[in-house]
Amino acid sequence: MLFLFAKQLRYLKFSACKPNSRCLSKSARFKRTITTNMDSNFIFRQFFEKESSTFTYLLADKPSKEAVLIDPVLETVARDLGQIKDLGLILKYAINTHMHADHITGTGKLKEVTSTDADKPCVSVISKVSGAKADEYVSEGSKIQFGPYFLEVRETPGHTNGCVTYVDHQHRMVFTGDALLIRGCGRTDFQEGDPGVLFDMVHSKILSLDSDYLIYPAHDYTGRSVSSVDEEKRLNPRMTKTKEEFVQFMNEMKLDYPKKIDLALPWNKVCGIQELVNL
């Protein structure tokens, strides 16, 4: 607490500037100002893969060096591992929110590259229900630990049977994969998609979190990077429908066949490991 108190005091400033004035030249008066990265042991990075508009997330604990990657993409493995090395971290888990249909997961490549490291190779993780190959499987209530932090697993099927959402309660962040996107959601017309199930899961497992939880999805196609439970509860044009309206809306969508699905699914079923694709 003393440490915290000292950190806050550091930002207390005073000036004569009026609260609502357009003041370009005076300092501000702070009632209470706290840095956004006060948990100095926690590292968080968001990465973007342009072709599939996929986000990959790095979460890590500085003292233990333990790092987790959520939804790595095959083409950007070198970038992600470079960042992990730059920060002096060790990749503990390479995690998928589900079996993706739009890109090949980087988990297989990450395992291959880290297998030659002095440290243990990273462990690939996906939900038991997904039917995909991985080193470890998670289900409702599982916890993925890195240093003193953990991700709570919540099963959120509907886009696919095996979709899970990872919740970081300590940092009030939720990684929703394709179950909930910013002002949207994943399609439900293939890979065991079920709009009724998706609607129930998103409302009961994600939008039931406190309104300040930040939502980090697997994709965004308009250049946005984050939302919040409050925003999606108020403004998601699909999730603010009734269940019946939502099911009808999703069932009537005429979407193109996913470009990469025929390539991506066989790979992602085996965690992106080439040698296993044709077995």
For a copy of itself, the binding residues in 132-161 under the rule CB under 8 A are 136, 138, 141-145, 147-150
Closer residue to a copy of itself (CB): 87 or 265:
87
Residue 167 and residue 206: Cα distance in Å, rounded?
Answer: 9
Contact between 233 and a copy of itself by CB under 8 A: the answer reads: no
Instruction: Draw the binding track, 164-183, toward a copy of itself (x: CB under 8 A; -: no contact).
Output: -----xxxxx----------
The nearer residue to a copy of itself, 12 or 251, going by C-beta atoms, is 12
> Shortest Cβ distance from residue 29 to a copy of itself (Å)?
6
17/261 with CB nearer a copy of itself:
17
Q: Are 198 and 240 in contact (CB under 8 A)?
A: no
Shortest approach of a copy of itself to residue 110 CB, angstroms? 15
**Contacts with a copy of itself in 1-60 (CB under 8 A)?**
1, 4-5, 8, 11, 17, 19-40, 42, 44-50
Q: Which of residues 82-101 bind a copy of itself (CB under 8 A)?
A: 83, 86-87, 92-93
Q: CA nearest 149: which of 83, 46, 68?
A: 68
User: Residue 219: beta bridge partners?
Assistant: 54
Number of residues that bind a copy of itself (CB under 8 A): 73
How big is the chain, counted in residues?
279
Helix (H, G, I), strand (E, B) or coil at 129: helix
Instruction: Give the residue with the Cβ less far from a copy of itself, 3 or 257.
Output: 3
- The torsion defined by the Cα of 244, 154, 192 and 217, in degrees rounded to 10, comes to 80
Of the residues 214, 239, 247, 250, which one makes contact with a copy of itself according to CB under 8 A: 214
- By beta-carbon proximity to a copy of itself, the closer residue of 138 and 273 is 138
Q: How far apart are CB 279 and a copy of itself at their closest, in Å? A: 26
The nearest distance, CB 206 to a copy of itself, in angstroms, is 17
Residue 199: C-alpha distances to residues 37, 184, 195, 247, 276 (Å) = 34, 11, 6, 8, 35
For residues 130 and 98, the answer to whether their CB atoms sit within 8 Å is yes
Query: CA–CA distance from 138 to each of 143, 160, 173, 183 (Å)?
Result: 8, 15, 19, 27
d(CA 182, CA 185) in angstroms, rounded, equals 7
User: Least separation, in Å, of the C-beta of 33 and a copy of itself?
Assistant: 4
Nearer Cβ to a copy of itself (29/243): 29
Q: Is residue 29 within 8 Å of 17, Cβ to Cβ? A: yes
| Closest CB 59 distance from a copy of itself, rounded Å | 11
